Copies of this chain bind each other. A is one copy, B any other.
Amino acid sequence: MSNTLLSPEQLLQQLQWRYATKQFDPSQKIPDQVWDALEQSLVLAPSSFGLQPWKFFVVVSPEVRQSLLPHSWGQTQVVDASHLVVLAIKKDVNAADVDRFMARTAEVRQVEIASLAGYANVIKGFLENPKDPAFDVNDWAARQVYIALGQLMTSAALLGIDTCPIEGFLPDQYDQILGLAEQGYGAIVVCALGYRHREDKYALLPKVRFKPTEMIGVIES
């Protein structure tokens, strides 16, 4: 068992503190060391089979961020936040991606790649012969990306960094502007990160959640 660094109360304090930031303070930048940890929280995010069917694009250029704004329903977080990440799926993940993952596994764990053949075949079977005929590999990858989004937002809240997740954007336009399509990636969701503006009135509104008794079902028999 790990030593817990945080009490349950401290965790909840930060999760309560978090909100979808509407207005960022453009003058405040996330320090490099904190940003590095947030990038790592993406890299370390769990995914099905550990396959990591994704890539995370950090848009540094202010000009490029400006050019995304008209394709983001005018949400100014895209330009005002300290950092902007576009979370993308690797499109049409297939056996070659599994092989690449196995090569990496063999490298990291210092084992023969042949010893991983059983696991590789399980994943390839999952992708190529899905049990559910409605299985869509890009939908599946998109769900994984949302795990990474969750880990990123929770990690940020723990480090005192504000976030705003953004689904309201035009993926095709993003893919074109950022050059994702030609690399085989597709934008799924966006996250702006930084510091809330002191005038963002949304920061002061009570968080709205349905009652815990409605959201948590306990199955006792």
Contacts and interface: CB of A to CB of B under 8 A. Distances in A.
Instruction: Please give the count of copies of this chain that the complex contains.
Output: 2
Interface residues of A, number: 89
A217 B86 CA distance: 9
A209 B107 CA distance: 11
Interface string A179-221: 1000000000100000110000000011111101011111111
A105 interface: yes
Interface of A: 1-6, 8-18, 20, 28, 33-34, 36-37, 39-46, 48, 50, 52, 54-61, 63-64, 100-101, 104-105, 108-109, 139, 142-144, 146-155, 158-160, 165, 167, 178-179, 189, 195-196, 205-210, 212, 214-221
10 contacts: A15-B40, A43-B212, A48-B165, A52-B210, A57-B218, A57-B219, A58-B219, A108-B206, A142-B143, A149-B150
